[in-house]
Structure formats: C-alpha cells, structure tokens
Amino acid sequence: MKSLYFKEEHNLFRDSVRKFLQKEVIPFINAWEEERRIPKEIFKKMGEQGYLGLNFPAEYGGVGADFWYSVVFLEEIAKVGAGGFPTAVSVHQYMAINHIFRAGSDFLKQKYLVPAIAGEKVAALGISEPGAGSDVASIRTKAVKDGDFYIINGAKTFITNGTYGDFITLAVSTNPENKAGGISLIVVDLDSEGITRTKLKKMGWHSSDTAEISFDNVRVPKENLVGVENFGFYYIMESFQLERLVAGIMAVASSKWILEETIRYMHEREAFGRKIAKYQTLRHTIADLATELYAAEQMVYHTCWLQNEGEVAVKECSMVKLHCSELANKVVDRCLQVFGGYGYMEDYLVCRAYRDARVGTIAGGTSEIMREIIAKMMIDDVEYKPVYS
C-alpha cells in the first residue's frame, strides 16, 4: 500500500530485516524465552548488519539513515513472537547509547558508542531505583568526586540488559540538595569492582534480562561523565520522548501481528460445525480492533515524522505511549478471548503476547505519568524546552 512516509528504500530495508529475523531470531525465540536471556552473539550479528546504529553517523560505525529506517526495524523486531527480544534491543540502541551520542565526549563515544553500535558491547540504562521510579528527581544513588574518580553507592532496579550487559548509562545524584538539578549521567562498566547484579523473575518479557544492581564504593573515572554535571535529569526527560515513541511503535506493530495470528486461528477453528471466522460477534471484534489500530498507527507515524524533523514532541510522544500501550493491552485481551481455552495455554503465542503487553503501561513511564504530562501541557500551559541543542 502507498505510504506518505515509507519510500522504496525503506521497503527494501524491511525485506532484508525480515529475512534476517527469519534466519537468526525467530527459530530461536522460544529457546531464548526459556533461557531467560538473549545470546550476546545476536547483538554482534545485528551490529554487522548495521541494525544497531541506524540513526548514528558513519564516523561511529552507524548508518546515518533517517528515522523511518528505525521505524521499520522496530516494527519488524516487535513481531518476532516475544516482547523480551525487542525490549533488550531497543533499550540498547534507543535509550542507553543515545545519551552517549547526544551528550557524551569523543572519549566516551569511542569507548562505548562505537562497540555498542558494532554489537560488541551490550548497553543498559539505569534510572529506576527500589525507592524511586516515576519520581526520577528522587533517586538516591550517589556519586561523590574523589580526585580523578567518582565513587558510586546505591542501587538500581528493573534494569533491562542489567545482568548480561557490559555497561550502563547510570543516573546518579551528584548534588543531592538540588534534586532534579543535581542529577548526572555516568557510564559505568558493569564488571567493575563493587557491583552486584541480581536477575529478577518477571511475569513476561522473559527473553530480556532484568536486574537489580547494587553499587558499593564503585570507582569510575571522571571522564565517564556524560555531558554536563547536574544536567542528567534534563537529558533523561528529553530522551524519554524517543523512548516513549519507540514503545508506541512496537506496541502497535506487535498488536497488528497478534491480530493477524488471531484471524489465522479464526479460519482454522471450528465450533458448532462452522469456522469461528463466520461468527459475526468475533468478526466485529476484529473490525473494531483493526480500526483502532489503524488510528493509533497514524498517530504514531505522524509523531515519527515530527521526530524525523528534529522536533522534541513531548505531548505527542506522551500521547503515543499512553494510547498505544493501553490499546495493546485491549487488543491482546480481546484476541486471547477469540482463542478460547487455547489462548490460556503457553503453547499459543497469544498467551505470551498477553503477558508481554501488560508491562507496556508501566515501563518507560506509567500511563498515569503520561496523563500528568499531557494534562500539564494542555491545562497549565507547561512547555518543555529541548536541552541537548
């Protein structure tokens, strides 16, 4: 179908990503879900294809492509049959290393961004703590200067790629009295002395590893500071927009995929001597969900266009995250119903999709926080100004 956004080169790229995933990911995804991890070699293979540096410039090993290549990539990885894999990959490329690219020194770019784009190092982003998730300004992990080093103490939780990752872009308090104005980002090697990583058991997203990480007098060279000291909160808030847009892109793509799986099942399953695809109530369910997904997709694409134009679209990205993650839960709930009892069985992908969708309204900013941001902008005329530029 014709598109305002995707050109022939994007369609060709989609074909090549699909082929790659068919060969290197989809046959193994069930095993990775069982093992609760993704082998590091797959990052290397994606790096060799250029998939981990789509929007980063060639001087760091990136492709320097427009944002629509990322949209294609994210849509395709969201359809591999499990939410854990796309989560791990998107946290690496669009969250953890994006900060290093946007604000990091050339030293940090060479040391961390270049190997991450090549897939030789896996990255995590450490913001959430046991005592502070939504309220980022209240984080308590501290970094205190000691000569040429920062000494870090504290704990992070729910960290994707935290158990097997190589480094973390870490939010720390460098000036606790200033709360939001006292937070900095520091890149920390995850095998540093004083770090303990504990893998967490989750409801879904099984193939992505999620960790609690404690820091006990961890010494980090002061060159590992990302950008300006005490600017971390503002970097995080701006970067959240890309994170939330990415979440929306994947929520719609994975919902469309599970809807297709459901339609396929409706053509196979019989009840009362007829294929269930003949029952009007189920047909209307599909029609309603497809319509809502079409509307959501257009909202996502328009916001991707803003992103590609270099806009920091806080309201639109928050709306995308809110609407698409809530809709993904609705879609997968209704789809599971169509599968009847089989939908509740682990052998059926809709069962995993149901578990995986649930966290969408929580991770990367809850629906309540999205509503707070939107309401502040709509009602109180609050504006958010870009910080990186």
Ligand X SMILES: Cc1cc2nc3c(=O)[nH]c(=O)nc-3n(C[C@H](O)[C@H](O)[C@H](O)COP(=O)(O)OP(=O)(O)OC[C@H]3O[C@@H](n4cnc5c(N)ncnc54)[C@H](O)[C@@H]3O)c2cc1C
Q: What positions carry a catalytic annotation?
A: 243
- Output the smallest distance, CB 189 to ligand X, in A: 17
CB closer to ligand X out of 269 and 355: 355
Taking CB atoms within 8 Å and a gap of at least 24, the contacts of 345-351 are 349/81, 349/258, 349/261, 350/258, 350/261, 350/262
- Binding test (CB under 6 A) with ligand X, winner from 126, 154, 232, 343: 126
Pairing label, strands 195-199, 210-221: antiparallel
Instruction: Kindly state the smallest distance separating residue 169's Cβ from ligand X, in Å.
Output: 9
Q: Report the site for ligand X in 186-245 (rule: CB under 6 A).
A: 202, 205, 210
373 binds ligand X (CB under 6 A): no
Burial class (CB in 10 A: 0-12, 13-18, 19+), 56: buried
Applying CB under 6 A, the span of 59-67, 73-81, 113-121, 126-134 interacting with ligand X comes to: 126-134
For residue 296, what are its two tokens? 């959501």
Q: How far is residue 311's CA from residue 151's CA, in Å, rounded to a whole number? A: 36
Question: Does residue 84 bind ligand X (CB under 6 A)?
Answer: no
Contact 364, 247 (CB under 8 A): yes
Spell out the residues 6+ positions from residue 37 whose beta carbon is closer than 8 angstroms to its own: 163, 164, 207, 209
Give yes or no for residue 159 binding ligand X (CB under 6 A): yes
- Going by C-alpha positions, the residue among 255, 239, 207, 201 that lies closest to residue 88 is 207
User: Is residue 359 a contact point for ligand X (CB under 6 A)?
Assistant: yes
**x-or-dash string of contact with ligand X, 301-340, rule CB under 6 A:** ----------------------------------------
Which residue lies nearer to ligand X by CB, 250 or 369?
A: 369
Q: Which of 132, 234, 129 is nearest to 183 (CA)?
A: 234
Of 42-50, 127-135, 140-148, 255-263, which segment contacts ligand X by CB under 6 A? 127-135
| # residues contacting ligand X (CB under 6 A) | 22
Residues 6+ apart with CB under 8 A from 252: 293, 296, 297, 300, 324, 327, 328
160 contributes a contact to ligand X by CB under 6 A: yes
Among 366, 374, 376, 377, binds ligand X (CB under 6 A): 366
Maximal C-alpha separation, the chain:
78
Distance, in Å, from the CA atom of 127 to the CA atom of 96, rounded to the nearest integer, reads: 10
In the beta sheet, which residues pair with residue 199? 211
Q: Which is nearer to ligand X, 71 or 370 (CB)?
A: 370
- For residues 144 and 200, which CB has a smaller minimum distance to ligand X in the complex? 200
Amino acid at 36: R
Select from 104-112, 187-195, 324-332, 368-376 the region that touches ligand X (CB under 6 A).
368-376
For ligand X, the closer CB: 335 or 359: 359
- Shortest CB 183 distance to ligand X, Å: 13
Could you tell me the CA-to-CA distances from 232 to 185, 225, 317 in Å, in that order? 5, 10, 20
CA gyration radius, the chain: 21
Per-residue binding letters, 89-118, with ligand X (x by CB under 6 A)? --x---------------------------
Among 50, 115, 133, 360, binds ligand X (CB under 6 A): 133
125 binds ligand X (CB under 6 A): yes
| 197: amino acid identity, one letter | R
Task: State the minimum distance, in angstroms, from the CB of residue 124 to ligand X.
Answer: 6
Q: Residue 344, Cβ neighbours under 10 Å: how many? A: 12
At position 387, the amino acid (one-letter code) is V
Residue 119 contacts ligand X per CB under 6 A: no
Environment class of 271 (CB within 10 Å of its CB; exposed 0-12, middle 13-18, buried 19+):
exposed
Among 128, 285, 307, 325, binds ligand X (CB under 6 A): 128
Examine residue 360 and tell whether it contacts ligand X (CB under 6 A). no
Question: Of all residues in this chain, which one has the CB nearest to ligand X in the complex?
Answer: 133
Q: Which residues bind ligand X (CB under 6 A)?
A: 91, 125-128, 133-134, 158-160, 202, 205, 210, 359, 362-366, 368-369, 372
